[in-house]
Each structure stands twice: as structure tokens, then as C-alpha cells.
Amino acid sequence: MDIKHREVVQWLQEIYGEERIPLYEKTERSITILYKLMKECKRAESQARILTEDYTRKAAEYNAEAQQLQKWRETAKLDPSQLTPENQKSLQALAQTANILDIQTPSSTNIILAMNQLEMEHMQIASELEQEKSRTAYLLEANKDLSKKLQDIKIITKQAEATWKLRQEELAKDAKWKQFTEKKCKNYEADINRFEAKLSQVGLTKEITHGNISAEWARLQTLEEEIKTLEKQLRSYTLPPDMSLAELKVQEARQELATLIEKFSENFNTDVLQG
């Protein structure tokens, strides 16, 4: 027999006493159920015992209080049935006041002391109430402030999200434009390399560039102007100077002019052919 079964048997013996304990199934499940039932019954009995003792003590206190009140009434020779309605109302009011103030003897001194104590408690509670109101007002104000800040943060967050979205779109456009520009640059570089290769194949030199031809043409114009000036000077002479020297200078200028004209013609023909 295990411990649980032994306790159950003892409990059943206490209940039935000298009577025979009824037959019951001695399985593990039934023993467990009876053991739980025993625990609950003992707990209920313990609580009932405590309540009974409390009720007994209170009954004794009430009896003692009733006897004390009876002695006081006999000493004062006070019979409630002989009191007038006004006196009965006053007595009831005094009893209610004593109950409210929680005093044993409703004397004037005890009532005044109890009222002073009640007033002090009232003042303390009122002070605590004011403090609680101030604390509540502060918390409400702080809550309003926090709510406003939270609303501002929400607005700022929405604006930041919109700005971020717009910036992302601009970055996407910039990336596309960059890709387009890089592609164009690569195309231009390829074209430049291709054209340079073609110019190298046709024998392009620095002397037949447009800038060089323009410079040569300007120089030719200058020489023509100088020749015209020299011719005017020759015509202005009444007596010719050293004719051999003058003819030599004129011949040199004409040769130089012919060379420039020939060179210009060659360069011009070359540009026309390449174009």
C-alpha cells in the first residue's frame, strides 16, 4: 500500500468512524481521485473551521459589547421605549456618528478627537488629490506636446520620403543621361579615330590644313599690296633710279608671288578633292 492509499484509508476511517467503509475500486486512477477529493475536503474543512472560529470570536465580542451597553443603559436608567421620537432620532444619529467615526465610547471628547482625525485625513487626501491633479495636468500637457511632436515628425517623414523619391527619380534620369553621354562620347571617339585614320591614309599634312592655307592667303594679299605700293613708287619717279636693282626686286617679288599662287592652287585643289 503506497502513501496516497494509506492517507485515503485513514481519511475514510475518520469519516465513517466505527461504520464499515464502503467498497471502492482500488486502482491507481480511483486512488488518485479519492486522494484529490480528500485534499479538497480537508481544505474546505480547514476554511470552515477558520470561519467558525472567527464567527465564534465575533459573537463573543458582540455579546460582551451588548452586555456593556446593557450596563451603561441600566446605569443611566435609559429605556429606548420611554424616549421621545426626537430623543430616539438624536440617539440614532449619535450611534451612526460613532459608527462612522469608529469610536467605542461616543463621548464629546472622543467625537471631537475622531472628527479632528477625520479632518486631518480629509486634508491629507485633498492635498494628495491636488498633487494628483497637478501631475495629471502635467502629464496631459506632456502628452499633447508629444502628440504634436509626433505629428510634426510624421509630416517631416512624409516630406523626406517625397524628397527621397524625387531624388531617386532624378538620380535615375542622371544615370540614363550619363549612359547616353558616355555612349555618344565613345561614338565620337570612334568617329575621330576613323577620320584620323582616313586623313592619315590620304597623306594629310600640317601644310594643307585650312588654317595654314588661310595664313598663306593672307601673306599673298600682303605681298600683292607691297607690289602695288612699289609699282606706284616706280611710277612716281621722274628720273628712274637704278633700273637694274629695281627690276631685280620686282622680279623677286613676282617669283615669290607666283610661288605662293602655285602653292595655294595646289592646296586648294587638294582640299576640293578630299571634300
Q: Which residue has the cell 474546505?
A: 44
Measured between alpha carbons, how far is 259 from 227 in angstroms, rounded to an integer?
Answer: 15
| 46-75 pLDDT tens trace | 888 898 988 888 888 888 877 776 676 665
Q: Do 179 and 220 touch, CB atoms closer than 8 A?
A: no
- Rounded to a whole number of angstroms, the CA Rg of the chain reads 66
The dihedral region occupied by 203, where left means phi > 0, alpha psi between -120 and 50, and beta the remainder, is left
For residue 131, what is its C-alpha cell? 498633487
Q: Where are the domains of the chain?
A: 1-79, 205-274
Give me the tens of pLDDT residue by residue for the chain, a chain 275 residues long. Answer: 578 888 888 888 888 888 888 887 888 888 888 888 888 888 888 888 898 988 888 888 888 877 776 676 665 555 666 666 776 676 667 667 666 666 666 566 766 776 777 778 888 888 888 888 888 888 888 888 888 888 888 888 888 888 898 888 898 898 899 899 899 888 888 888 887 777 677 665 555 566 777 777 888 788 878 777 777 776 665 445 566 766 777 777 778 777 777 776 666 555 545 54
